[in-house]
Structures are given as C-alpha cells and as structure tokens.
Amino acid sequence: MGRRMPALALVLAVTILGTLPATAGDDGKGKELTVYAAASLTGAFGEIGELYQIETGEEVIQNFDGSQMLRTQLENGAYADVYASANEKHMQALMSQGLMDNSTVRVLLHNMMAVIVPGDNPGEIGELGDLARPGLKIVVGNREVPVGAYARQVLDNLAADPSYGEEFRAKVEENGVSEETTVNLVVSKVALGEADAGFAYVSDVLPPMRSQIEVMEIPEEYNVVADYYIGVLKGSEHPERAAGFIDYVMSEEGGAVLARYGFTPAGTYPRANAPQAAALA
C-alpha cells in the first residue's frame, strides 16, 4: 500500500491542476481582452467587440462608464488592456503616471455637443436662448465627466458673445437640476421627461430614439469638438493583441460602425490633436 501512494498522489495532483482556471499567462486567458471605454461608446464598441471576436476568436470583455470613473479604477489597480477616453484630460493623467504605453496612444475619433429635449418638448425650447428661461429643468454631466466639461465650454463660448453674455450662463446654471456621472444618464433623464433639456453628444441620439428625444444643434462658433483617445495599458498582458484591437476599431470595418453611431473619424477637424502620444506631452 505504501508503494502505491506516490502514484495515486500524482494522479490526484494532475487531476486537480487540470481543473483549475487558467492564469493570466495561460492560453486559456490568452484569447481574452479587457477594454475600458467611455460610456458614450457603449453601443458602437459593443458591436465592434462582437465583430472583432467573430473575426479573431478573441473574447472582448468591456467595461463602460464615465471616463473619469474608469481612470480612477485603473489608478487603483484595476486591470485592462485598452482604455478609451472621451477627452484628453483623463488619458493624459494616466500617461503621466506611467500607466499607459504612451507610444500607442492616439486620437480615436471626434464628437460634437448638442442640446437634447424630450420628444414632446414640455419646456417649449426652440432655440438656445430659451435655456435661460426661469423654471426650466436642465441636466448636465458633472465637471469631471467629459460631457460635463464640454457643456461648460459651450456655455463659456456663448457667454463670450454679447448677444448672450454672462447673465445667460448664470441663468442656465440656475436651471440645473442634476449633474450626472455619465452621458447615458443625461440622455435617460431627458428621454424619460425628468428634465426639459440636457447637454449630450450628437452621437447619443440615434434614429430609434428620435421619437423620445429631439436634438437642437449648437452652432459651430459655440460648439466644442470632443476628441476621444485610445491606447494600450502598460500593464497589459497581451499588448500585441490590444494593439490589434485598436487597429480594428480604427479600420474600415470599425470606422463604419462608429460612423453609424454618429461619430466622426479622427483627423476630420484641423484643431484635433496629433494622433501620437508625443503630441500630448
């Protein structure tokens, strides 16, 4: 009996090891990528991730939230292979901390701001000037979420025009009823009629939503071009695959999906930043 125990122990050990989940470096996880992306990319990246998986066999696990929330998670040790931010600020912060592979960071796409109102427009908002009317309920992103920062830039631009002025901005801010952590929450509150108006991205209102939300365009002289950035995390265990995913997002196939969701390809606007990380330093 004593001579047989080592052999039995070996068999048990092999069986147990064979049932353990694969570690980060095993082939079992080698086909998996983790992508952290701005909430406004939820629809487009969700579709692109499915197409990428069909083409490559690599599973894409995605976490969508406000860019500032994702940044905080990464700063606190969360694992991701790819990060896509809706502005330069949060990407630059991760780069300056050495959390990004800076050579991979580039402008992903552009977006524009718009004012959105519920489909039945209970506030009877027909032009930007109406936003200052007392008693309206306006929802925006908070100051840290990119869509909130962009909304405030739009108000700054309007305030610089004497036909609107600082008083206009103050009145609009007085009508603010909530500050959200993601643009998706802004859109939801407007669609549900919980606010008379909100500041969101043009890409957030697709044709299926047009019965619930109306879009009021912001003239170019007041509007803001939102530059989105994407790059590979320095701690990625699959940097080549992560770079491959970014290439796919920016390929003809990925670009077609982004365009259907209302985004504009990188390089369209001359004021957009250069595509390489060196330009961010």
Same domain, 38 and 81: yes
Banded model confidence at residue 206, pLDDT cuts 50, 70, 90? confident
- Give the pLDDT confidence score for residue 265 in this predicted structure: 80
Same domain, 166 and 263: no
Same domain, 172 and 83: no
Same domain, 192 and 54: no
pTM exceeds 0.85 = no
Would 11 be classed as within a structural domain? no
Cα 256 to chain centroid distance, Å, stands at: 18
80-104 pLDDT tens trace: 999 999 999 999 999 999 999 999 9
- Give the pLDDT confidence score for residue 253 in this predicted structure: 93
Same domain, 98 and 39: yes
- Give the pLDDT confidence score for residue 149 in this predicted structure: 95
Token digits of residue 161:
């025009």
Same domain, 232 and 106: yes
Confidence check: pLDDT of 29 > 80? no
Same domain, 138 and 193: yes
- Give the pLDDT confidence score for residue 22 in this predicted structure: 35
Confidence check: pLDDT of 1 > 90? no
Same domain, 105 and 115: no
3-state secondary structure the chain: CCCCHHHHHHHHHHHHHHHCCCCCCCHHHHCEEEEEEEHHHHHHHHHHHHHHHHHHCCEEEEEEECHHHHHHHHHCCCCCCEEEECCHHHHHHHHHCCCECHHHCEEEEEEEEEEEEECCCCCCCCCHHHHHCCCCCEEEECCCCHHHHHHHHHHHHHHCCCCCHHHHHHHHHHCEEEEECCHHHHHHHHHCCCCCEEEEEHHHCCHHHCCCEEEEECCCCCCCEEEEEEEEECCCCCHHHHHHHHHHHCCHHHHHHHHHCCCEECCCCCCCCCCCHHHHC
Q: Which one of 167, 185, 217 terminates a domain?
A: 217
Same domain, 136 and 193: yes
- Give the pLDDT confidence score for residue 277 in this predicted structure: 37
Confidence check: pLDDT of 210 > 90? no
Same domain, 39 and 118: no
Confidence check: pLDDT of 281 > 70? no
Mean pLDDT of 182-210: 90
Same domain, 91 and 135: no
Note down the domain range covering 269.
23-110+228-280
31-57 pLDDT tens trace: 799 999 999 999 999 999 999 999 999
Q: How many structural domains compose the chain?
A: 2
- Give the pLDDT confidence score for residue 16 in this predicted structure: 34
Confidence check: pLDDT of 276 > 80? no
CATH code, 120? 3.40.190.10
132 vs 5, more confident: 132
Same domain, 105 and 244: yes
Would 249 be classed as within a structural domain? yes
Mean pLDDT of the chain: 86
